[in-house]
Chains A and B, each alone.
Chain A
Amino acid sequence: MTFLRRAVLALGVTGLVTAVLRLRGSGGVPPQTGGWQELSGPDFR
């Protein structure tokens, strides 16, 4: 019974920590236009 209580507690704490970390999220807004373009010869003058 003690083992079961500890297991449930461990799972609960893990879930709580995971939820907090996930809820923080990444945020930010992606660039709406444009993109990456490789620099080549003329860019190095």
Chain B
Amino acid sequence: MRFAVLGAGAVGARVVRQLVMSPGVDGVVVADRDRARAGLVARSVGEPVRTGGCDDGDDPWWEGADVAVLASPGGDHGQVAERLVADGCSVVSVSDDLGDVEALLALDARARAGGRTVVAGAGFAPGLSCLLAGHVAATFDRVDEVHVAKTGTGGPACARGHRQAWRGEAHDWRDGQWVRRKAGSGRELCWFPDPVGPEDCYRAAAPDALVLVPAFPGVGRVTSRVGASRRDRVTAHLPLLLRPRGEGRLGAIRVEVRGQRSGLHDTAVVGALDRPAAAGGAVAALSAVALAEGRLRRTGAGGVAELVDQRPTFLAELSRRGVKAAGFVGAAGPS
């Protein structure tokens, strides 16, 4: 199997490392606008990683790859994926940008027609959050509601994206239709796995619901919230004065699934705690390997909750690679 990775930042470097750890990987090309950074990643990992150019001339970076992983800063993943699909390459995107995920999902018909697959939102959240939601939902007879909350950022590009998410509109799924609400509204105190613990979370222009709704036909409500401090919310509309740190703090996700089990209304809460770039890189790499091995449910575009066939095996492999998930046992409490 051969892979091409666009982006050698915090997430891209992890994707490359995780791909190399997977059996059956013959080659990985890493490309970045900053060639020196791509070279650094290639040298630090060694064989079979080599660098590729970002220009799309005679030797495009995805040439010969079974799957291309987009781990570059969000904003243009839809356009890049469109070119890749047209060129006969399947795509895995880690972007958590709402516009990117909308554009990627819109490639569904084109990807199906070409027998290719586009995996949208294969990072920390969406990504790991979708896998956990799907895993827990399988224990319900009927899923009524899915609520996702996340906190933390990957690299600097991810931190910038999060600031933009406070300026847009949140997309919530309610009673069979999309409801748009102002980002920054809907404060809810969410309890993440320790040591992150409680954090105020708000609606944001996050794409989680877009990839979760198709995975749970008939679901009544799907919402997503993002953790923020008061300073984050106050300064969201101001220019970024300081460059974000190279790698964000510890992040966490919390997924709450409500529905019917054995005729009774029940709630299950699962979560995960990790550096978002590390966990997101592992999810993207395993998704790319599953895609190259033909282990996804179908061709076309979708999120990991919908496309990954054997979620328990996938989560067990993530756990083996250090991405640990946790379940809340006992009384789930208010949120």
Contact = CB atoms under 8 A, between A and B. Distances in A.
The yes or no verdict on A and B being binding partners is yes
Interface of A: 21, 24, 26-41, 43-45
A35 B330 contact: yes
Contact of B329 (A35, A40, A44): A35
Interface of B: 135, 187-189, 191, 193-194, 198, 200, 230, 234, 270-271, 312-313, 315-316, 319, 324-335
A38 B324 contact: yes
12 contacts: A24-B230, A28-B198, A30-B191, A30-B198, A33-B330, A33-B331, A34-B330, A36-B326, A36-B328, A39-B315, A41-B316, A43-B327
Contact of B331 (A21, A27, A32, A39): A32
Nearest to B317: A44
Given A26-B198, A31-B191, A44-B319, A39 B335 contact: no
B128 to A, nearest CB: 12
Contacts of B329: 34-37
Chain A at the B interface: SS class: loop
Contacts of B193: 36
A38 B325 contact: yes
A26 B227 CA distance: 12
Contacts of A37: 326-329
Contacts of B324: 38-39
Contacts of B334: 28-29, 31
A32 B333 contact: yes
The 7 closest A-B pairs by CB, nearest first: A34-B330, A28-B189, A31-B333, A44-B316, A44-B312, A36-B326, A36-B193
Contacts of B234: 21
Given A21-B230, A27-B189, A34 B328 contact: yes
B189 A26 contact: yes
Most buried by A among B234, B324, B326: B326
Given A36-B271, A38-B325, A38-B326, A28 B331 contact: no
B197 to A, nearest CB: 9
A38 B132 CA distance: 13
A13 to B, nearest CB: 14
B326 A39 contact: yes
